[in-house]
Structure 1
Amino acid sequence: MKRSGAHLGRISWRLLLLILVLALAGVAAWLWRDFSRFAVTPLRVTASGESIDIGRGTSFKDIVHQLRSEGLSTSSPLYWRLLAERMRVAGRLHAGEYALVTGITPQQLLSNMAQGKVMHRDVTIVDGWTFRDVLQALAKADKLKHDTAGMDSAAIMQKLGAPDQKPEGWFLPETYAYVKGDSDLDVLRRAHDAMNKTLAALWAQRDPNLPLTKPYDALILASIVEKETGRADERSKVAGVFVRRLQKNMLLQTDPTVIYGMGSSYAGNIHKSDLTTDTPYNTYTRLGLPPTPIAMPGKPAIEAALHPAPGDALYFVSRGDGTHIFAATLEQQNRNVACYQLKHCQ
């Protein structure tokens, strides 16, 4: 009987051990499934446009604490640590601002942080904007440092390494991406470099015998073309009119330069008295190009200025629908003005 009892005792202990092993295996399996589910379950992102900002020197523990304190995750810090170790990124997370798109998982977020895929924002310089317009857009750009605040244009150009340049015209219209921590000077520097490269490349391919002695002349003419028409099919025609006028030593007589010269006194309408009031930008009173560009010309406008359409047109007037009608003689121009501006068509 004693042997039988001892044998039963051994069986009981083995059974208990087996049950314990199975229980532990079950718990481990459950934990693994729960951990695996955590890795691919979206974080609690409630709205588009959210982000998380990780400062320099932030430890992994503090990153997880930040995620939890901001309500993005309620999972155990141990799960975050295990996931980072499994992905081999625990010590390779970069500081910066990261986008929290709807549906992003812990695994995706850690991958973005490990690769430094910080959040990018865009600011656009629009064709035909003035330098003042550019500065206003940069001042409104979200998460962009405003280093130019309080600077005048001369100080800004000094910072950009171009102290002898007037800023008008020198920033290429384009969309520029930036990250949190970048400044408006960074964007301006990139736009300035882009314009310099674009202008140099296009100048090297210009048509022969243009009445333009240097690239800056092309930039000025392009800015006038930019303000006169936004239609791709008209840019080279408008440029052709102004090129022929320069060649014939005629006044350019273009309203956008007059308006630019009026500055803040321009209230939306231009009067006959404005056309006779002399300023450096009044092309009704002064021969040749104005002293600076009057806006930021886009690449198509620069191309048009350097490759004007051939022909004999010396005049053009708006039809009132966004297009223009061109004329070779003053008589034709007067008829066009009467018809399309005064509505006295014959």
Structure 2
Amino acid sequence: MRKFGCFGMVVAAALAIGALVLFRWYGPGPAEKEITVVIKGGSSLTAAARQLEEAGAIGSADSFLTFAKVLGDDAPIHSGEYRVPAGLSASEVLEMLQSGKTLQRFVTIPEGMPSILVHEKLMKEPLLTGSVAVPREGSVLPDSYSFERGESRAAVLRRMQAAMDRTLAELWKTRKPGIAVSTPAEAIILASIVEKETGLPSERRTVASVYTNRLKQGIRLQADPTTIYPVTKGKPLGRRILRSELEAANGYNTYAIAGLPVGPIANPGRQSIAAVLDPAQTSYLYFVADGKGGHVFAATLAQHNDNVRKWYAIRRERGEM
């Protein structure tokens, strides 16, 4: 009986030790709050374990490495920035490193943002590295782009421009017959004007129809945003357009030149590009603000002039004139 009692004690002790070992691997980790750890490129699991211990994400690098060798697998780890939740177990930390699910950060380019502001936004992001020149106008697709801490601005910009190339190629295949643009480059130019003229998704195809009709009839576009662009490179003007600016011949002023301007005036979004490739079927040639955030459209100059008088009356009532 005494032998069986000793054996039982040994078994119980072994089970207790085993349970303790498993708990140290699978049980809650030491982090009392969320921790961010950056695993440098080319780091071995040993080097990563030292970083994790120093940050407080694991209790002991040596124990972590031993457990990883015995209880983990030999899948490689990935470098990058990781968010370690409070209490994450050592086994889950290893799984996270092997999955490569790094912390994703985002830079968002709104529809219609000009390239000069895209450049400023990239340069102001403190977690990106390196520098970039102002991208070619109209070459960036507005969207939210993920990036990792320490990634180069050039790499992020390349993704933005590649997204525009893919989107334009896809949409160009869907273009309707009889549209006013004959090349993808012209589509971007016209889409940038539509983008700057209306912020309402429901109006895009109608605004596109106005400019499509004017181009096909040889009527000057007379788009204020194109006149402003050479002055500000897409930034807000902050004042009324001057007579001299309306008369300037600079390749962009569509009051002074016929047809499209020489280039885009912003980075248009997917929906504005789609709108110029499939504009609404209308007879409209004019539009003016309606005082409610949208526009009122007209097919004749007489109708348009009446709409303009109504708009001026609204502005006078608001004290804007």
Asked whether 1:199 is paired with 2:184, we answer no
**Residue-by-residue CA offset, 1:25-48 (whole Å, 9 max, x unaligned):** 444333322232233334344555
SS across alignment from 2:106: strand
Matched with 2:193 is: 224
Match runs of 1:90-129 below 5 Å? 92-129=76-113
Distance 2:43 2:175 in 1: 54
* Alignment correspondent of 1:39: 25
Q: How does 1:1-346 map to 2 (within 5 A)?
A: 19=6, 22-48=8-34, 50-75=35-60, 77-78=62-63, 80-89=65-74, 92-148=76-132, 152-153=133-134, 167-263=136-232, 267-273=237-243, 274-343=245-314
Query: 1:151-181: per-residue Cα shift (whole Å, max 9, x none)?
Result: x44xx6xxxxxxxxxx100111122222344
Change (3 A) 1:60 1:328: closer
Q: Deviations over 1:82-119 (max 9, x none)?
A: 24421223x73333322213443221110121232222
> Residues 50 and 61 of structure 2 are in contact (CA less than 8 Å); yes or no, is this contact kept in structure 1?
no
- When residues 73 and 196 of structure 1 are mapped into structure 2, their CA distance, relative to the original with a 3 A threshold, is closer
Give the unaligned 5+ runs of structure 1. Answer: 1-10, 157-166
Q: Secondary structure at the residue paired with 1:176? A: strand
**Is there any run of 5+ residues in structure 2 with no aligned partner, and where?**
none
1:256–1:113 Cα change, 3 Å: same
Q: Which has more radius of gyration?
A: 1
Helix, strand or coil at the partner of 1:234: helix
Q: Residues 194-213 of structure 1: CA distance to partner in whole angstroms, max 9, x if unpaired?
A: 21222122222212122322
Aligned-partner Cα distance in 1 for 2:27–2:126: 30
- How far apart in 1 are the matches of 2:149 and 2:307? 53
CA distance in 2, matches of 1:304, 1:339: 28
Letter in 2 for 1:233: S
Q: Distance in 2 between matches of 1:146 and 1:300?
A: 32
Alignment TM-score, normalising by the size of structure 2: 0.87
1: distance between equivalents of 2:148 and 2:237? 37
Structure 1 position 243, deviation (Å): 0.8
Question: How many matched pairs?
Answer: 314
Residue 6 of structure 1 is matched in structure 2 by none
Rounded Cα–Cα distance in structure 1 between residues aligned with 2:221 and 2:194: 12
| Residues in 1 aligned to 2:202 and 2:184: alpha-carbon distance in whole angstroms | 23
Q: Which amino acid in the other structure matches residue 58 of structure 1?
A: S
TM-score (normalizing by structure 1): 0.81
Pairwise CA distance, 1:71: 2.3
Answer whether contact 1:172 1:296 (CA < 8 A) is retained. Answer: yes
Contact 1:254/1:284 (8 A) holds in 2 = yes
Instruction: Please say if residues 236 and 307 of structure 1, whose CA atoms lie closer than 8 Å, have aligned partners that are also in contact.
Output: yes
SS at match of 2:20: helix
Q: Which amino acid aligns with 2:129?
A: K
Aligned partners of 2:46, 2:165: CA distance in 1, in Å? 47
- The Cα of 1:266 is off from its aligned counterpart by 5.7
Q: Secondary structure at the match of 2:313?
A: coil
Instruction: Report if the CA contact (8 A) 2:228-2:237 is conserved.
Output: no
CA RMSD after TM alignment: 2.6
* CA shift in 2, pair 1:272/1:136, >3 Å: closer
Q: CA deviation at 1:328?
A: 1.0
Structure 2 CA distance for aligned equivalents of residues 76 and 185 of structure 1:
36
Task: Provide closer, same or farther for how the CA distance between residues 97 and 111 of structure 1 changes in structure 2, counting only shifts above 3 A.
Answer: same
